[in-house]
Amino acid sequence: MAPTTLAELLAMEGVHEELAIRSTFGFMAFHGGGLEAVTDTIARAAAEEANASYYGVLHPDNDPPHLPSTRFRPDESQMLTDFINHVDVVVTIHGFGRRGLFTSLLLGGTNRDLATHVADTLRPRLPAYQLIDDVDEIPQNLRGLHPNNPVNLPRQGGVQIELPPRVRGSSPLWWDWEGGLTPHTELLIEGLAEAAQTWQLSTS
pLDDT for residue 124 is more than 70 = yes
Q: What is the mean pLDDT of the chain?
A: 95
pLDDT of residue 202: 74
pLDDT of residue 110: 98
What pairing do the DSSP bridges indicate for beta strands 89-95 and 104-108?
Answer: unpaired
- Strand order of the β-sheet with 16-20 is 16-20, 53-59, 25-33, 89-95, 158-163, 104-108, 130-132
Where does the pLDDT of residue 171 fall: very low under 50, low under 70, confident under 90, or very high at 90 and above?
confident
pLDDT for residue 204 is more than 70 = no
Helix runs in the chain, H state only:
6-10, 39-50, 78-86, 112-122, 183-203
Set out the domains of the chain in order of their start, with CATH numbers: 6-203 (3.40.630.100)
Where does the pLDDT of residue 63 fall: very low under 50, low under 70, confident under 90, or very high at 90 and above?
confident
Taking residues 86-108, report their average pLDDT. Answer: 95
Predicted TM-score (pTM) of the model is 0.96
- Residue 171 DSSP symbol: S
Percent of the chain, pLDDT > 90?
88
